[in-house]
Structure 1
């Protein structure tokens, strides 16, 4: 994509009417923040000079801005017309190792739109369109979330961090984990009378609740799903953020023991699979949290209720009841 980046950079700069001056000013702005940029990558061995690092930031930043503008545009272009290509690039933009500081994007964008009078939608709007493009859940991301807006205005986050905040539970008190939650598969739960259904009216995008019926969000399982979740989980493991995405992946791992569980979830409308076989989906879900530590679990309350229901309605208990 390096040649494509330069093409997109030139295309964006040409729209300002004075590409050389615009480029030089963007470089100056980024070089002025170079200490903050290096601090952002603390722990990673970056041998580039200040000028080379600033050039990388400007080229990548302008490419991202031009790409997401084309993606959200109603005009026909090479990205809006080719969903597979645009989705693959969008996925690259949420890889943990590809993140650049959000404040770099914002500085360049503000200069282009305010000082150079480049007519563009708000950066928040274009970013949400990008993230909607790769959101694996059926329910669209809600842009009225104050926590997300607060994150977008923060200097400490990036595109992956913004996507992470869209999945955050609102006004949720995390229950303490005293003992690990009991795992019961979908097939086991259905045998004891638990109903499972897709629910679009959830308190937060990843919510699961139980009232004799386990209500879950609808998720599309494909190769993109794995990329998005793995990077969000890696972000949670290595950043000072809460691990609600890890909790969701762990919960799905507990519910899926065999391909038969995937088949049930597919018939119930909870999973929309594009992988071709239930075996592939089960393998993906069972391996997505391999070697990941479960420090917090956002589903302790419904999982406790499920365990109690399972114990009360298990075949063994029913046999004891009949004998009594």
Structure 2
């Protein structure tokens, strides 16, 4: 709680000479520890403990622990550039957002688009989707979109000669950065979904979809050139292996991308 409160302020006095804030390695290690599935504490216990913390100026800015926790994990929020009031308003439109099980559940709610939760959009799994290079051969292009959850992938037809019934198809995919932490974070999220959200495994659906799209290095290169993927791994093959490994761990019976596929 002290860590979260201190991170929430930009005061130089609070951050000076503290290795938890001045060393990137320490910050990364803390994030990994907080998001390990076996390290999770029930969120309602943390909320009760937070109510016992003596009121400070910093705590007054965060009246509840959920707001404070979301500030710590805001790096994962595609809307993090918005004001806190706007973010809170957006989150409150998501069903169940204020009753997370633990930190991993908080991250999952941040990732999931509102219309996924509120419409219950989830179908029996039966998609067959080709790789990006094969889709490109049938005139499907790839368009990066911003300020959307990386899960919010859409398919759009743009008329070229509508009177002839000719269209150019676009797969709109929000930009995603894949780095050394991605396998760890996605792996913990899909493991959590397999046990707690088997019929609403949105992160798992995404991993499966990307694994289908990137079969060869040329597929990754196409997404990188399109500005959809920021690959911070050493090679394109590492990215393919990452999603293939995660996809092999899945037992997916339902997918939110059935219609898209």
TM-score, normalised to structure 2, is 0.80
Does the CA-based 8 Å contact 1:233-1:246 persist in structure 2? Answer: yes
Quote the residue 2:173 is aligned against.
216
Deviation at 1:149, TM superposition (A): 8.1
The structure with the greater share of residues assigned to helix is 1
Q: 1:174 aligns with which of 121, 132, 146?
A: 121
Rate the CA distance shift 1:274–1:127 in 2: closer, same or farther, 3 A.
Answer: same
Deviation at 1:107, TM superposition (A): 1.2
Does the CA-based 8 Å contact 2:150-2:176 persist in structure 1? Answer: no
Which secondary structure does the structure 2 equivalent of 1:301 belong to? Answer: coil
Query: Which consecutive residues of structure 1, in runs of 5 or more, have no partner in the other structure?
Result: 1-64, 304-324
Asked if residue 272 in structure 1 is aligned to residue 230 in structure 2, the reply is yes
Higher-Rg structure is 1
Does the CA-based 8 Å contact 2:91-2:97 persist in structure 1? Answer: no
Quote the residue 2:163 is aligned against.
none
Figure out how many residues of one structure are paired with residues of the other and give that number: 230
Quote the residue 1:262 is aligned against.
220
Deviation at 1:280, TM superposition (A): 0.7
1:39-60 CA distance string (max 9 Å, x none): xxxxxxxxxxxxxxxxxxxxxx
Instruction: Supply the RMSD in Å over aligned alpha carbons.
Output: 2.2
Rate the CA distance shift 1:71–1:111 in 2: closer, same or farther, 3 A.
Answer: same
Does the CA-based 8 Å contact 1:220-1:273 persist in structure 2? Answer: yes
Q: 2:71 aligns with which of 125, 129, 148?
A: 129
Deviation at 1:187, TM superposition (A): 0.7
Query: Which consecutive residues of structure 2, in runs of 5 or more, have no partner in the other structure?
Result: 82-86, 157-168
Which secondary structure does the structure 1 equivalent of 2:209 belong to? Answer: helix
Does the CA-based 8 Å contact 1:148-1:166 persist in structure 2? Answer: no
Rate the CA distance shift 1:150–1:172 in 2: closer, same or farther, 3 A.
Answer: closer
Q: 1:140 aligns with which of 73, 80, 83?
A: 80
- Structure 1 stretches (4+) deviating beyond 6 angstroms? none
Rate the CA distance shift 1:145–1:138 in 2: closer, same or farther, 3 A.
Answer: closer
For residues 234 and 147 of structure 1, what CA distance do their matches in structure 2 show? 26
Deviation at 1:72, TM superposition (A): 2.3
1:228-263 CA distance string (max 9 Å, x none): 111110110011462001011111011010111111
Quote the residue 1:50 is aligned against.
none
Q: Which has the higher contact order (CA 8 A, sep 6+)?
A: 2
Q: 2:202 aligns with which of 244, 255, 260?
A: 244
Mapping of residues 1-324 of structure 1, within 5 Å: 65-75=1-11, 76=15, 77-112=18-53, 116-119=54-57, 120=59, 121-122=61-62, 123-133=65-75, 135=76, 140=80, 142-143=87-88, 144-146=90-92, 150-152=96-98, 154=99, 157-169=101-113, 170=115, 171-177=118-124, 180-200=126-146, 202=148, 204-211=149-156, 212-240=169-197, 242-303=200-261
